[in-house]
């Protein structure tokens, strides 16, 4: 469907189903692969490899953080420019963003490859545990220039109206990665680096396929002769900063928690934390898929001055996020033992007991997590990067570190409660942000005759 017609004419509820359901399915496919990845590593390579993957994972995500900053940051001004019918500048931002992502992938890849042994050692790991984590991380570092762009291309496809195409591409990436990982680990008996290689190969293949509509000129956005300018770079960085800061801050928190867990609970505690993160890796993409897939529509209507339509779209986003979160909390509470044995099949009774208790405390997180998540996405979509960044950094770093200190006397129980406590604090912060912006968010629709007249809208 043409993106202009999709974003400006389709009813908000229908738009929600047309955009967010494929987006959620796309992220669900990714989440299922991440879950399968954990299952394959745990079953084929054992608990030490499973713990090593979780120890390295924060650095793997950092590897994608700059690409995410550029991809998400470019998507907002691209959508707004399309809403203002300025397709030439939208294509220029798209082209510049792709170049910036590839350069960032090379730089971060080199840095991570060189520093991997020191980073893992600083986490307190040693021996085989450390060697497995280093080898896993270095594969991602080597492949970084060709893999980090894949998620940005997913955003660009959705902006151009290729919503189902984006969904099928994500499903293909998960299927390819899963099949290759089974082949590498289950048939060829590769070590843990084979799991990383399988994922990277799936990403690289799909990144190339995602380029096809843009190269062939079949998309609304096109590759053009790039014109870099300071205002464009500043806008990309500003709009991408909330996601970037969330990635960096969240990984700093994960690194800190892993270091604490290694020292007070050993490999078992790290494995339990890994189960929590793999479980979150199933829920978080669903929320992200629904909210992120609506951002182009929100940005487009903001650029067109249709604020009532922006509010209607976001109402759907908040309601759907609440439903997904509460159902997830219920499932974690009802079947924690089954979730535990899915990832740690050889767990003894002590390991099962610890993980079940941790999962039930972790489930409380999703009673309120949906509200801050949807609010942060809303702030980003309407070009409120400062407010989105405050929610992001507070949720990913400030509140968790504060609660580590406050809950320290509770030991491991305090660590498991940290997530739920953070979620509650983030919900209150989000309420405050929305209250502060209530007059701007409830403004009247504006329908300027010329694109230049819309500058006032963007400063709201």
189-207 pLDDT per residue, tens: 898 899 999 999 999 999 9
Higher pLDDT: 329 or 294? It is: 329
pLDDT reported for residue 198: 93
The answer to pTM > 0.75 is no
pLDDT reported for residue 445: 57
174-192 pLDDT per residue, tens: 889 889 999 999 889 898 8
pLDDT reported for residue 5: 66
Inform me whether the pLDDT recorded for 448 exceeds 60. no
Q: Which of 67-81, 274-288, 292-306 has the lowest mean pLDDT?
A: 292-306
Q: Average pLDDT for residues 45-65, to the nearest whole number?
A: 83
Helix axes 412-436, 266-303, angle to 10 degrees: 10
The C-alpha torsion from 309 through 310 and 311 to 313, rounded to 10°, is 80
Inform me whether the pLDDT recorded for 259 exceeds 70. yes
Confidence of residue 456 (pLDDT cuts 50, 70, 90): very low
CB neighbour list of residue 344: distance below 8 Å, 6 or more residues apart: 42, 47, 50, 271, 275, 351, 352, 355
Helix axes 266-303, 47-83, angle to 10 degrees: 10
Confidence of residue 330 (pLDDT cuts 50, 70, 90): very high
Q: Are 454 and 302 within 8 A, CB to CB?
A: no
Q: Are 306 and 385 within 8 A, CB to CB?
A: no
What is each CA distance from 82 to 2, 79, 93, 160, 276, in whole angstroms? 12, 5, 11, 10, 40
Inform me whether the pLDDT recorded for 75 exceeds 60. yes
Inform me whether the pLDDT recorded for 145 exceeds 60. yes
Q: Average pLDDT for residues 308-312, to the nearest whole number?
A: 81
Confidence of residue 444 (pLDDT cuts 50, 70, 90): low
SS3 of the chain: the string is CCHHHHHHCCCHHHHHHHHHHHHHHHHHHHHHHHHHHHHHHHHHHCHHHHHHHHHHHHHHHHHHHHHHHHHHHHHHHHHHHHHCCCHHHHHHHHHHHHHHHHHHHHHHHHHHHHHHHHHHHHCCCCHHHHHHHHHHHHHHHHHHHHHCCHHHHHHHHHHCCCHHHHHHHHHHHHHHHHHHHHHHHHHCCCCCHHHHHHHHHHHHHHHHHHHHHHHCCCCCCCCCCCCCCHHHHHHHHHHHHHHHHHHHHHHHHHHHHHHHHHHHCHHHHHHHHHHHHHHHHHHHHHHHHHHHHHHHHHHHHHHCCCHHHHHHHHHHHHHHHHHHHHHHHHHHHHCHHHHHHHHCCCCCHHHHHHHHHHHHHHHHHHHCHHHHHHHHHHHHHCCCHHHHHHHHHHHHHHHHHHHHHHCHHHCHHHHHHHHHHHHHHHHHHHHHHHHHCHHHHCCCCCCCCCHHHHHHHHCC
pLDDT reported for residue 458: 36
Higher pLDDT: 53 or 3? It is: 53
- Scan for tokens 């990913």, then name that residue: 396
Inform me whether the pLDDT recorded for 449 exceeds 60. no
Average pLDDT across the chain, whole number: 83
Q: Which two tokens stand for residue 357?
A: 């208790």
Cα dihedral sign, 264-423-27-251: negative
Q: Are 372 and 423 within 8 A, CB to CB?
A: yes
Q: Average pLDDT for residues 307-333, to the nearest whole number?
A: 87
Of the chain, the percentage scoring pLDDT greater than 90 comes to 27
Inform me whether the pLDDT recorded for 309 exceeds 60. yes
pLDDT reported for residue 307: 77
Confidence of residue 404 (pLDDT cuts 50, 70, 90): very high
Q: Which of 8-22, 69-83, 85-99, 190-204 has the lowest mean pLDDT?
A: 8-22
pLDDT reported for residue 2: 53
Confidence of residue 457 (pLDDT cuts 50, 70, 90): very low
Q: Average pLDDT for residues 55-72, to the nearest whole number?
A: 83
């Amino acid at each position: 469907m043409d993106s202009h017609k999709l974003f400006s004419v389709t009813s908000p509820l229908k738009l929600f189903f047309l955009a967010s359901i494929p987006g959620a399915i796309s992220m669900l496919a990714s989440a299922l692969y991440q879950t399968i990845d954990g299952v394959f590593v745990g079953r084929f390579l054992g608990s030490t490899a499973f713990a090593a993957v979780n120890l390295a994972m924060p650095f793997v995500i950092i590897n994608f953080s700059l690409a995410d900053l550029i991809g998400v940051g470019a998507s907002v001004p691209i959508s707004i420019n399309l809403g203002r019918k300025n397709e030439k500048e939208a294509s220029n931002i798209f082209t510049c963003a792709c170049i910036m992502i590839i350069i960032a992938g090379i730089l971060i890849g080199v840095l991570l490859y060189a520093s991997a042994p020191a980073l893992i050692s600083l986490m307190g790991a040693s021996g085989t545990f450390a060697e497995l984590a280093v080898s896993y991380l270095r594969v991602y570092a080597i492949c970084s220039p060709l893999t980090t762009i894949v998620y940005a291309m997913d955003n660009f496809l959705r902006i151009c109206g290729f919503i189902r195409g984006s969904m099928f591409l994500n499903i293909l990436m998960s299927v390819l990665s899963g099949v290759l990982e089974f082949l590498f680990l289950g048939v060829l008996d590769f070590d843990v680096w084979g799991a990383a290689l399988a994922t990277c190969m799936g990403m690289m293949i799909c990144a190339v396929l995602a380029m096809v509509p843009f190269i062939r000129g079949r998309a609304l956005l096109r590759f053009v002769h790039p014109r870099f300018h300071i205002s464009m770079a500043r806008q990309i960085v500003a709009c991408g900063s909330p996601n970037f800061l969330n990635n960096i801050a969240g990984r700093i928190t994960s690194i800190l928690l892993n270091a604490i867990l290694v020292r007070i609970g050993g490999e078992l505690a790290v494995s339990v934390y890994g189960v929590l993160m793999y479980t979150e890796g199933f829920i978080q993409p669903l929320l992200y898929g629904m909210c992120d897939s609506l951002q182009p529509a929100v940005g487009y209507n903001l650029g067109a001055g249709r604020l009532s339509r922006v509010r209607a779209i976001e109402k759907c986003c908040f309601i759907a996020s609440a439903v997904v979160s509460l159902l997830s909390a219920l499932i974690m509470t009802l079947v924690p033992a089954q979730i535990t044995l899915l990832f740690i099949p050889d767990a003894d009774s002590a390991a099962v007991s610890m993980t079940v208790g941790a999962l039930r405390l972790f489930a409380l997180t999703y009673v309120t997590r949906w509200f801050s998540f949807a609010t942060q996405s809303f702030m980003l979509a309407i070009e409120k990067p400062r407010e989105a960044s405050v929610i992001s950094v507070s949720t990913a770093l400030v509140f968790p570190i504060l609660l580590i200190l406050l809950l320290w006397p509770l030991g491991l129980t305090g660590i498991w409660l940290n997530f739920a406590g953070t979620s509650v604090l983030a919900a209150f912060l989000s309420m405050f942000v929305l209250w502060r912006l209530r007059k701007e968010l409830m403004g009247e629709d504006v329908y300027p005759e010329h694109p230049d007249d819309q500058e006032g809208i963007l400063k709201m």
